[in-house]
A and B are shown apart, each in its own frame.
Chain A
């Protein structure tokens, strides 16, 4: 119902365009630090974990590169990173909109004749659809790079073997799956958070509860969506 209401009496396109652009820049730039740090270490740990399991010596060390790259493209970059971003972006959206609700700012928009749900939610969903694929792309790159550096530093795999492993098992379809997931998760996180923020009732305590609900329900919906996408595309 909320998604239906946001398209009733929409505002000028330029209004949404500017708001979505500003929101996307804020989302992307604001999440960059956490994406860089977590992705790099995620790749490094995956490399070390994979190397630890290759104890037989029957498998070439290049397999580490392929395991890291496939894991990164299918799960680590789109899904794990989206879980982390739910905490940052989802709670941020829910608390922003929730605060506007309890301080009557949303009522002020309505009285002015502005479709408040459309004005507040469309730009945020659009920003999610723009920034999530960008953040996931950066995450995938850094995760793979982090894995290579960790392999080199620990002496488990040379950069040459690591790259060879990536090239051997690379399938462009995995990239398609990664982008489909990033778009789906971007939509889920922003829309679930906006929903909980928009229907906040009460005061500061309820704003906090809305932010918590946005993260919890966002993660639960993502788990389900992750399974559905995997089932449909793989």
Chain B
């Protein structure tokens, strides 16, 4: 259950955002796309999930090109996709329970008890049992992210996409969300793709890391290799982050 992108290009007017990207995202691993703001990370992720059609190139789910499929075939692929958005994107008018059960009710013919069990299971996985009747407005940012993750795994997906999971969260909550993503990836053996510019997150959970620079893949490796990348743009990116300080403190 892997995802591959081949020679993806995307431009908005004269501005080329993605300039021919090739990548492979492996199953059971947290694949991370990192880069500075404007490097094309979110555009790449949106192209992969089908929210932005690329100008050229292929997005292959198990070798099948997503953009060559008709509407019904795309829907079948999307049923296997769970996604956590940067702002959580929970449905305001629905309770936590209704948010999580929404994709199940739309696509599965399950009995109400089975749906309730599945919702309880998902909430238990994100440590939010008992919050079924709350509305998104009653939750903190971290809780909203966790409900977003619970909704993303409700259909037991093969692919999990996460857009900037730590934005707007304090470091402690961010760490909790990171660990949760890592644990669920292992538990459900999903192909997880995380877009982030948080190097703490990269060091904590990044199994397979791709660095985007000016619309191109500039580097690829693991979190063990990222501190010595031999890639000037990535070295600069790391240098300006607080990672160096963290490493220095660890050496002391």
Select which of B72, B76, B81, B90 is within 8 A of A111 by beta carbon.
Answer: B81
From A15, which residue of chain B is reached at the shortest CB distance? B106
Chain A hits for B50, CB < 8 A: 110-111
A11 with B106, Cβ < 8 A, contacts A108-B83, A111-B78, A111-B81 known: yes
Q: CA of A189 to CA of B74 in the docked complex: distance in angstroms?
A: 32
Number of interface residues of A (CB under 8 A): 18
Q: CA of A104 to CA of B84 in the docked complex: distance in angstroms?
A: 10
- In this complex, the interface size class of chain B, counting residues with CB under 8 Å from chain A, is 20 to 34
Chain A hits for B106, CB < 8 A: 11-12, 15, 112, 114
Tell me, yes or no, whether B38 is within 8 Å of chain A by CB. Answer: no
- Mask of B101-112 contacts with A, CB within 8 angstroms, 1/0: 011001100000
CB proximity of A95 to chain B, nearest CB, Å: 12
Tell me, yes or no, whether B51 is within 8 Å of chain A by CB. Answer: yes
Tell me, yes or no, whether A167 is within 8 Å of chain B by CB. Answer: no
Chain B hits for A11, CB < 8 A: 106
Chain A hits for B81, CB < 8 A: 111-113
Chain A hits for B79, CB < 8 A: 112-113
Tell me, yes or no, whether B86 is within 8 Å of chain A by CB. Answer: yes
CB proximity of B106 to chain A, nearest CB, Å: 6
B87-A9 in contact (CB<8A): no
Q: CA of A104 to CA of B83 in the docked complex: distance in angstroms?
A: 11
Considering residues B74, B85, B86, which has the most beta carbons from chain A within 10 angstroms of its beta carbon? B85
B72-A107 in contact (CB<8A): no
B86-A104 in contact (CB<8A): yes
Q: CA of A9 to CA of B106 in the docked complex: distance in angstroms?
A: 13
List A residues 87-138 near B (Cβ within 8 Å).
Answer: 99-100, 103-105, 107-108, 110-115
B78-A103 in contact (CB<8A): no
From A105, which residue of chain B is reached at the shortest CB distance? B89
Q: CA of A9 to CA of B50 in the docked complex: distance in angstroms?
A: 15
- Mask of B85-126 contacts with A, CB within 8 angstroms, 1/0: 111011110000000001100110000000000000000000
Q: CA of A115 to CA of B77 in the docked complex: distance in angstroms?
A: 14
Select which of A9, A108, A114 is within 8 A of B89 by beta carbon.
Answer: A108
| 21 A–B contacts, CB within 8 A, in A order | A9-B75, A11-B106, A15-B106, A103-B87, A103-B89, A103-B92, A104-B87, A104-B89, A105-B89, A107-B89, A110-B51, A110-B78, A111-B78, A111-B81, A112-B81, A112-B102, A112-B106, A113-B76, A113-B77, A114-B106, A115-B71
B interface, CB within 8 angstroms of A: 46, 49-51, 71-72, 74-79, 81, 83, 85-87, 89-92, 102-103, 106-107, 161
